[in-house]
Amino acid sequence: MGQEHKEYTWNLIAKNLSGEASAEELLELEALLRSNPELYYPMQTIADLWKASSPDDQKIAERAFSRHLDRMQELNTDFIRTDRKAEPGTDNSNENSLPSADPEQSTESQTIADLRIAGHTSRRRKILLASAFCLLVITGILFFTLYGPATPAAGSAPQASETASEIFTRNGSRTNLVLPDSTQVWLNAGSRITYDKNFGAATREVTLTGEAFFDVARNAGRPFVIHTERIDIKVLGTRFNVKSYPSDRTTEATLIRGSIEISIKDRPTEKIILKPNEKLVVANDDSTLHRNNFTRPGIAANESLVMIRKPTYEVNTGAVIETSWVENKLIFQDEAFRDLARQMERWYGVSFRFTKPRQEEWHFTGNFQKETIQQALDALKLTEAFNYTIQENQITIYDR
């Protein structure tokens, strides 16, 4: 992606944040992000922070932008447009380039400064403020990239190569995207998906760490393949969920429609064909499942422990629990607190600490949608007698 196109993309993102993007610009932004998936994460970060920011936070961004304008005026710098289309009533005949000799005039500065020439209407102030906010967040992302921890955390996925595209979500965040072949992917919290930049040209292969729901565009000539640490999945066109977190005890694939072919890494010659409304569960270690849990003939109980069962349905609504997260619902049924806590860590972006081992064995049933972490914990307290403290994002569970 050329630098000029990146500038224009950030301009569109700012308009999108401020609610001032036209329908045509929104379609163009979607196309740009589809062809440049590396921009998904910074855009998602900016959007999340923009929605969550308080009026004080936005005033900080506005003051930062005002200081930037003052600095540009001190340098006697003219403002130019980088928009591909001039706005109505704007005369671009006298555009001048920013002096390239001044090292302090960054590309991002040009992108924000060019918006000012349209005037000081309310609409333009929204876009200017959003642009300033983008600049502040981009600066933070770049700083973390350059000066943040260089060593990946234990259990994290390997870094993508220079020829691969990578999209990931942090804990407390979910996203959806469209791959170049029109396959739709919903990515759950704390997940990562990578694929070659030539995806779709000859093959359609992705690598997943975490959880994702796929609605695969059908292409009989090019099967869609998903690689996880424990299993590989091959499909032609179908809807299904894959859960493969390194910290979990099992890897799961839940089929909603169509069929999928699954091979387990330590016995690749054996193929398992999953039918609609079936879920494959593979132990990530041999102590997790027992051989007597095999429920369908033809699956050998050898190197890996595997079982096939029906998805789990919520008693009251009949919702499929395995895919409820796609609808922003955290549904749990007779779930041990240790396992529920792991889900809540991803859902809310927090971490849990239990003060006694028996607390981890408490079981809960329920669902969360719009509840805050405090509201969720207070609801759980109605079932088991405990107290909790929250310090920053650390939650400690105590006996009452």
Task: Assess contact for 298 and 274: CB atoms under 8 A.
Answer: no
- Tell me: pLDDT of 235 over 50: yes
* pLDDT-derived band at 226, boundaries 50, 70, 90: very high
pLDDT at 269: 81
- Looking at residues 166-184, what average pLDDT do you find? 92
How far apart CA 17 and CA 68 sit, in angstroms, is 20
Architecture of domain 329-399: 3-Layer(bab) Sandwich (3.55)
pLDDT at 27: 77
Residue that wins the pLDDT comparison between 342 and 288: 342
SS (H, E, C) the chain: CCHHHHHHHHHHHHHHHHCCCCHHHHHHHHHHHHHCHHHHHHHHHHHHHHHHCCHHHHHHHHHHHHHHHHHHHHCCCCCCCCCCCCCCCCCCCCCCCCCCCCCCCCHHHHHHHHHHHHCCCHHHHHHHHHHHHHHHHHHHHHHHHHHCCCCCCCCCCCCCCCCEEEEECCCCCCEEEECCCCCEEEECCCCEEEEECCCCCCCEEEEEEEEEEEECCCCCCCCEEEECCCEEEEECCCEEEEEECCCCCEEEEEEEECCEEEEECCEEEEEEEECCCEEEEEECCCCCCCHHHCCCCCCCCCCCCEEEECCCECCCCCCEHHHHHHHCCEEEEEEEHHHHHHHHHHHHCCEEEECCHHHHHCEEEEEECCCCHHHHHHHHCCCCCEEEEEECCEEEEEEC
- Looking at residues 375-397, what average pLDDT do you find? 95
* pLDDT-derived band at 151, boundaries 50, 70, 90: very low
- Looking at residues 95-122, what average pLDDT do you find? 45
- Both tokens assigned to 222: 């090019």
Q: Which of 91-105, 258-272, 278-292 has the lowest mean pLDDT?
A: 91-105
Domain with CATH 2.60.120.1440 in the chain: 164-309
pLDDT at 202: 84
Residue that wins the pLDDT comparison between 285 and 120: 285
Q: What are 290-331's pLDDT values in tens digits?
A: 443 444 444 444 445 889 999 999 988 889 999 999 999 999
pLDDT at 346: 96
- Looking at residues 339-349, what average pLDDT do you find? 96
Residue that wins the pLDDT comparison between 270 and 346: 346
Q: pLDDT > 70: what percent of the chain? A: 60
Residue that wins the pLDDT comparison between 273 and 286: 273
pLDDT at 323: 95
First to last CA, the chain: 57
pLDDT at 21: 74
Q: Which of 38-52, 127-141, 278-292, 304-318 has the lowest mean pLDDT?
A: 127-141
Residue that wins the pLDDT comparison between 59 and 288: 59
Topology at the third CATH level for domain 164-309: Jelly Rolls (2.60.120)
Q: What are 198-215's pLDDT values in tens digits?
A: 888 888 999 999 999 999
- Both tokens assigned to 196: 């070659």
pLDDT at 112: 47
* pLDDT-derived band at 42, boundaries 50, 70, 90: low
* pLDDT-derived band at 28, boundaries 50, 70, 90: confident
- Tell me: pLDDT of 165 over 60: yes
CA distances from 183 to 59, 178, 213 (A): 40, 6, 11
- Tell me: pLDDT of 385 over 60: yes
- Tell me: pLDDT of 340 over 90: yes
Domain with CATH 3.55.50.30 in the chain: 329-399
Q: Which of 160-164, 200-204, 331-335 has the lowest mean pLDDT?
A: 160-164
Long-range contacts of 306-309 (CB under 8 A, 24+ apart): 306/264, 306/272, 306/280, 306/281, 306/282, 307/280, 307/281, 308/272, 308/274, 308/278, 308/279, 308/280, 308/281, 309/278, 309/279, 309/281
Per-chain mean pLDDT for the chain:
75
Residue that wins the pLDDT comparison between 73 and 186: 186
- Looking at residues 18-37, what average pLDDT do you find? 72
